[in-house]
Structure 1
Amino acid sequence: MQRTLLSISLLLPLLAAAEVYRWKDVNGNWQFGDRAPDTQHESVEIQAPQKLGQDENVHDIHQRTLRLRESEQFKEREKQEKAKAERERRLAALEKNCREARDRLKKLQRPFVYFDDEGNEWDVPMSEVRADIAKTQKWLEENCQQ
């Protein structure tokens, strides 16, 4: 298999350098071919196109491409790490708020007394307490996993 590929790759440049002939047929049309006709003909030299990536700068281009790819991968990893850290920070803050809301709900469901800023006892109607409990439960349901 490797010998076949090697022989094909060695013969390929010879095929590319083959001659092309040009002649005018009986109708006056120009014809091109790789075999010389019996009639008068011209030989046309065709240069193979320059192969891309075959000069001495190929290694430099490859190295620059690798560095660029590594740089992009590094930036992507950094971006993912920042997003993960931000997500963890938000989850920690939310968990703290949920814990505080659960504690508040427990306190609201026990007998308690409100005090104003001056330390005076203040009676709160039960409807207000129920509304506060409902509001806290709703917030917990919307924002916290039970």
Structure 2
Amino acid sequence: MLIRTLLSLLLLSPVVGMAEVYRWVDAEGRTHFSDRPPAQAASQEVKVESPPARVDNAARDRQQKVNAFLKQRQQERDQQRAADAKAEKQAAKQAELCTRLRARVKHMESVSTFYNLNEQGERVFVSESENTRIRERFRKKVAEACKG
């Protein structure tokens, strides 16, 4: 509450210092001052210089604390933005990987049989039950990696 009041006063003080003041003398010879020129008499604009605001040490300390708090909050927001950008980049990378893995699952469905290479480099085809286990194991790994 005190900080809000202090900030309000700081924001309003330049407006008060820049207000125009008019001086005029009425028919009876009395001098008047106002923030609006009179309609019936000629007036003169008076330049009023307000003294510089006196800031005590407690107010200066409070302002420094407010500035430090605002700086810390900005740093936290910057760190959060950086973390969000990193997470977004990682999510995009994961989505791309899952797209490729799902395409491989589809391709595996179209392959009739799988094989291994023996020591001579020859193809040794696996049984139909082994084909099914290979497909099922790969599908399960993709499902775990891609959550679905």
For normalisation by structure 1, the TM-score amounts to 0.50
Q: Indicate the structure (1 or 2) with the bigger Cα radius of gyration.
A: 1
For normalisation by structure 2, the TM-score amounts to 0.49
